[in-house]
Amino acid sequence: MQLLDQIKTNKIVPVVVIKELSDAEPMLRALCDGGLPVAEITFRTACAADAIRLGCEKFPEMLIGAGTVINAKQANEAIDCGAKFIVGPGFAAEVAEVCRERGVLYLPGCVTPTEIITAISYGLEIVKFFPCSNYGGLGTLKALSAAFPTMKFLPTGGISEENVLEYLAFDKIIACGGSWMMKGTPDEIKAKTAKAMALVK
Ligand code: 3PG
């Protein structure tokens, strides 16, 4: 399956923060066992790159990308480790250039018309809308979509099982990002993931 189809089919992109490398395998396995073989592993911890590498080796069936990527060095490192997509909290031209050169999907955080215009100028067709609830949630997304009818969004930040269906019902949203299923033990992650997948599928 093509990468974008995988994202659209699974409907949720879990935001994964791995504090210790030894947590990576049980956390990623819990996502797979819960029916969601997708992970955005964030560059917020020292072991992020190693966790991406380990995840790609141990779970080749998973769609693993890197999150919180803010510069070219991190983007190159993530791609070298096997990241299939790159997510950022905001738009970074140097990251867009690395992703374009290396043929990797880049989903930068964009919340204003100006940021979306910048993303379009780099040929991007999908942006993350982050932090979604703080920037007006679905109402803002709909207003932005009116001005940018071809743009698709990955809203992230403040999404939970209470509101995910409302977001997914809007056809400009390809999937929702979130961390609500990532709290607790691997068994709890698996259970929350399975519940989320039952809800959205
Ligand atoms: C993040 O970057 O931490 C994500 O936006 C997750 O947000 P959430 O914890 O509100 O799902």
Domain ranges of the chain: 3-200
Tell which one of 15, 107, 127 to mutate to probe ligand 1, the residue whose CB is within 8 A of the most ligand atoms: 15
Between the CA of 157 and the centroid of ligand 1 the distance, in Å, is 4
Q: Which amino acid is at 34?
A: G
Q: How many CB atoms lie within 10 A of CB 59?
A: 18
Between the CA of 158 and the centroid of ligand 1 the distance, in Å, is 6
d(CA 59, CA 105): 20
d(CA 140, CA 159): 15
Q: Is the CB of 179 under 6 A from ligand 1?
A: yes
Q: How many CB atoms lie within 10 A of CB 126?
A: 21
Q: Is the CB of 15 under 6 A from ligand 1?
A: yes
Q: For residue 132, which atom of ligand 1 is closest to its CA?
A: 5
Phi, psi of 138 (to 5 degrees): -60, -35
Distance of CA 12 to the CA centre of its chain: 8
Between the CA of 110 and the centroid of ligand 1 the distance, in Å, is 15
128 is catalytic: yes
The dihedral through the CA atoms of 60, 61, 62, 63 has a sign that is positive
pLDDT of amino acid 63: 98
Residue count (the chain): 201
The first and second tokens of residue 197, run together, are 């997948």
Between the CA of 190 and the centroid of ligand 1 the distance, in Å, is 18
pLDDT of amino acid 87: 98
Q: Which CATH architecture has domain 3-200?
A: Alpha-Beta Barrel (3.20)
Atom 9 of ligand 1, nearest CA residue? 179
57 is catalytic: no
Read off the pTM.
0.96
For each of the chain's 201 residues, which pLDDT tens digit applies?
699 999 999 999 999 999 999 999 999 999 999 999 999 999 999 999 999 999 999 999 999 999 999 999 999 999 999 999 999 999 999 999 999 999 999 999 999 999 999 999 999 999 999 999 999 999 999 999 999 999 999 999 999 999 999 999 999 999 999 999 999 999 999 999 999 999 999
Cα torsion 173, 178, 181, 184 to 10°: value is: 180
- Strand pairing partners for 88? 108
Q: How many CB atoms lie within 10 A of CB 142?
A: 12
